[in-house]
Structure 1
Amino acid sequence: MSLDLPALRAAVAAHGVVVRILIVSVAGSVPREAGTSMLIWTGGEEGTVGGGELENQATAEARTMLAATALPRLRTVPLGPALGQCCGGSVTLAWERFDAASLPDALPFARPLAGATALRPTLTPAPGTPPQVRDGWLVEAAPAAGRPLWVWGAGHVGRAIVAVLAPWPGVAITWVDLGPDRFPATVPPGVTVLPAVEPALLVRHAPRDADHLILTRSHELDLQLCHALLLHGFTSLGLIGSATKLARFRGRLSSLGHTAAQISRIACPIGDPALGKHPQAIAVGVAAALIRSAGTGRHAEERDATG
């Protein structure tokens, strides 16, 4: 994870002064990974660095920093010996105070720690790189781009899926339906909303490596989208419905010129049927599948990188 600069700016605009707690590095068994952060302000907080006594003490220290300007603090905390937590690993935390005058302009973001004597490093970490301490400076990269996810339909299931997945930094969601009135009054931050009278015409604008979920209220529109996406290309394509619906679509898509191998790439039903058909249950199943596939891809890349 990397610094969510828009969220930090919004928190400062709303609360004036915030302290950000950042997990800089980890060793052994720990609740959260490096790059995880949370924000503290007078009377409130957002996010989590793992809960338990670690978070309890970290937030208490953060609140002591709200009143006075200070350089970032950095400390390594052994979870077992220091806090009595069973994880057994250790976490290096940074505490940093932000107000309107101290917000970073852009990423990557480098700032000196207490006692730093070296000049600002010229390090330019790749997007998504975990935080680094270099020559007395704390450096954070720009966030990695989330994998593109296009959600076609803003009904009950579409809303549940977007609500579950929008907070996850692993996706960049584009949400499509027939008109502005189809969407909820409040859309999660970071979600791109595209009202369209003819949604299938938007397929040409989707990245060819995007994941797609087709959830519209019209079976005919669902079929148009499947047809357009099979022609366009995608990483994955999920269609809400049943085995019966897929069988009918298979025949109609075949008559439109798609091969059996191409049509077999459509997943229907979506989610985990064992969880049930409630919109939230479908959303949980869909989210689990996407997160699992993202993790599999990441681990494969790591294996390739390490030989």
Structure 2
Amino acid sequence: MGALSWHQALHRLQREAVPHALASVVGAAGSTPREPGAKMVITAEGVHDTLGGGTFEYQVIDAARRALAEDEFGPRLEAFPLGGRSGQCCGGYVHVLIEVFGGAEMTVALFGAGHVGQALVGLLAPLPWRVLWHDSREDAFPAWAADQPRLECHHAPDPTEAVAALPAGCHALVMTHDHGEDRALVDDLLARGDCASLGLIGSDSKWASFKRRLADAGHGPEALARVRCPIGIPGAKGKLPYEIALAVSAELLTLKPETAQPDRRGVAPEVLRDAFSQPKTS
């Protein structure tokens, strides 16, 4: 059992974008361990607060962790006849709403803490995204970055080591202070081949120069076509750092993963109808 109350745990996990589930007793009949309104928070490694203990609670934890492991995010309603499903002698009946949160919607790996990089991180900070911010200079990160949720700042003097440490499926953006470092990063990112997207700041002429050298390094046309340069949503105007950051943020929004089908959101209607029928307690 974790040391945090459910609301303390929920605040911390939401802030840090750690996958978790909130389990709430929403209905009860007969003798039950806790009353409606009782809550607990479950992660893959821990549990915070309690729904009363016993087999029933272990079954709730198991249901939440299976949903987390299978990326089944969103709410689900589970029915627990304590005498039947849970084997508890109190014999009551409990409905539990399990809300599964997947943590960060997407991960952005940003290389470069210059003017555009700082403006971009400021724009991304309120979003439920994880940002891995890298720069080869030790003093590049602003003081305000130290206390931002879901933001990790990494001093990364070796581009190859920094790229090797990235999680698969991240959206990589390269905008360092040095063209040679930019090219080395794009080279290593293309060699990995598992980024969800790859963007490079710069002009068409910069990309033409990079493209020739990257082709000479062995990257084929299909790999090179994955690089977006210049970056930013098409049609955006302006060269101020904040203007560029706005255009890049908008472009990232177009790359967000698709959500669930809009006509089947949350708990299925038939499950809700059954939940409001009178349960048998014996």
Change in Cα spacing, 1:178 to 1:5, as seen in structure 2 (3 Å) is farther
Equivalent residue, structure 1, for 2:214 = 253
State whether structure 2 residue 196 is matched by structure 1 residue 235.
yes
For residues 2-50 of structure 1, what are the alpha-carbon distances to aligned partners after superposition, in whole Å with 9 as ceiling and x for unaligned?
A: x996672599xxxxxxxxxxxxxxxxxxxxxxxxxxxxxxxxxxxxxxx
TM-score normalised by structure 2 residue count: 0.62
Shift of residue 248 of structure 1? 0.9
**Structure 1 vs Structure 2 CA RMSD:** 3.9
Equivalent residue, structure 2, for 1:50 = none
Cα distance between partner residues in 2 of 1:246 and 1:7? 44
Equivalent residue, structure 2, for 1:277 = 239
Secondary structure of 1:221's partner? helix
Q: Percent identity?
A: 32
Shift of residue 283 of structure 1? 2.3
Shift of residue 160 of structure 1? 1.6
Secondary structure of 1:167's partner? coil
Change in Cα spacing, 1:231 to 1:105, as seen in structure 2 (3 Å) is closer
State whether structure 2 residue 119 is matched by structure 1 residue 160.
yes
Shift of residue 198 of structure 1? 1.9
The residue type equivalent to 2:73 in the other structure is T
- Mapping of 1:105-184 within 5 angstroms? 120=57, 122-123=59-60, 124-125=63-64, 126-127=67-68, 129-134=73-78, 135-169=94-128, 171-184=129-142
Shift of residue 267 of structure 1? 0.2
For residues 49-85 of structure 1, what are the alpha-carbon distances to aligned partners after superposition, in whole Å with 9 as ceiling and x for unaligned?
A: xxxxxxxxxxxxxxxxxxxxxxx898xxxxxxxxxxx
Cα distance between partner residues in 2 of 1:223 and 1:213? 12
Alignment check: 8 A CA contact 1:120 1:137 kept: no
State whether structure 2 residue 192 is matched by structure 1 residue 220.
no
Secondary structure of 2:149's partner? coil
Shift of residue 137 of structure 1? 3.4
2:143 pairs, out of 180, 185, 190, with: 185
The residue type equivalent to 2:144 in the other structure is T
Structure 1: stretches of 5+ with no match in the other structure: 12-71, 75-95, 113-118
Secondary structure of 2:139's partner? helix
Alignment check: 8 A CA contact 1:271 1:282 kept: yes
The size of the alignment, in residue pairs, is 213
Cα distance between partner residues in 1 of 2:96 and 2:58? 7
Change in Cα spacing, 1:268 to 1:210, as seen in structure 2 (3 Å) is same
Secondary structure of 1:141's partner? strand
Cα distance between partner residues in 1 of 2:58 and 2:95? 9
Change in Cα spacing, 1:239 to 1:202, as seen in structure 2 (3 Å) is same
2:161 pairs, out of 197, 201, 220, with: 201
Could you say which structure has the larger radius of gyration?
2
Alignment check: 8 A CA contact 1:111 1:137 kept: no
Tell which has more relative contact order, 1 or 2 (C-alpha 8 A, sep 6+): 2
The residue type equivalent to 2:251 in the other structure is A
Cα distance between partner residues in 2 of 1:4 and 1:245? 50
